[in-house]
Amino acid sequence: MKAIIPVAGHGTRFLPVTKVVPKEMLPIGSRPALELIVEEAKSAGADEIVMVISKGKELIREYFKDDPAVSFVYQHEQKGLGHAVLQAAPAFAGGTGNVLVLLGDALVAGGNASRELAAVSRSNGGAAVVGLERVPREKVSRYGIVAMEESGRITGMVEKPAPENAPSDLAVAGRYLLDVAIFDFLAGQRAGLGGEIQLTDAIARMIAEKPLYGCVYRGRRQDIGNPQGYFKALEAFGENR
């Protein structure tokens, strides 16, 4: 299995340090946060990892240069998460099966979220799976929100809805195991919220053709894209040691 880790964002919620240090390279103990995400992917079965970086984030490239499993592609314009993931498409040309996507600013403590997704996929005939967490209703507008049946099957997905339009309180939480057909949907995806190519919108179109299941994983996700989430991640990983 191959994995994609989009890490092209400019870290505007974590200035000024991100002027020179990518947020994903901030240390959790002696290792950059991103290395923990790489380990999560590998231990979930990923043997090739494509990182989507941008100009100014070469420190990431430098750090992982001796890891033969990791390769790099550039996102030259900040056009959204869906656009970032699409930059990795050439590595999947002609491929079949699933691709694991791990958001580089979502660090999960207390369990391997990707492995849980892989297990849910296996018990549903290899279907695609999205990692979820429950969020307070007033915070749904910060996330992709899904509509999910009792069976775990996802029937809808909307990016950052207003609370009154949200189909549930189940939020997309930084981990996706998607059919590689996602690249076709992304290639034809129009800009959505914020004028960006949203991964959520492409997945929402794909579920009409390919089944998608939800998995509320056990670990706790921390958004290390801002100082507050980073402090929480330090605490969580400190406790687990």
Tell me if 143 contacts ligand G1P by CB under 6 A. Answer: yes
**Minimum CB distance to ligand G1P smaller for 73 or for 106:** 106
Strands 31-32 and 27-28 come out as: antiparallel
Other CB atoms within a 10 A radius of the CB of residue 145 amount to 26
Q: Which residues pair with 6 in a beta bridge?
A: 52
The interface with ligand G1P within residues 179-218 (CB under 6 A) comprises 199-200
**Span between the terminal Cα atoms of the chain, in Å:** 29
DSSP state of 189: P
Q: How far is the CB of 186 from ligand G1P (least distance, A)?
A: 13
Cβ 116 to ligand G1P shortest distance, Å: 15
Residue 144 binding ligand G1P, by CB under 6 A = yes
Residue nearest to ligand G1P (CB): 144
Q: Which stretch binds ligand G1P (CB under 6 A): 54-62, 147-155, 168-176, 230-238?
A: 168-176
State yes or no: residue 173 binds ligand G1P (CB under 6 A): yes
In Å, the largest CA–CA distance within the chain is 49
Least distance from ligand G1P to the Cβ atom of residue 105, Å = 7
Distance from chain centroid for Cα 141: 17
Spatial CA neighbour of 104 closest among 140, 68, 63: 63
CB 75 within 8 A of CB 52: yes
Handedness of CA 235, 236, 237, 241 (dihedral sign): positive
Q: How many residues bind ligand G1P (CB under 6 A)?
A: 12
Name the minimum Å distance from CB 103 to ligand G1P: 5
Which residues lie closer than 8 Å to 56 by C-beta, 6 or more apart?
A: 10, 22
- Binding of ligand G1P at residue 103 (CB under 6 A)? yes
Of 159, 169, 179, 201, the residue at the interface with ligand G1P (CB under 6 A) is: 159
Residue 81 as a binder of ligand G1P (CB under 6 A): the answer is yes
Residues that bind ligand G1P (CB under 6 A): 81, 103, 106, 143-144, 159, 171-174, 199-200
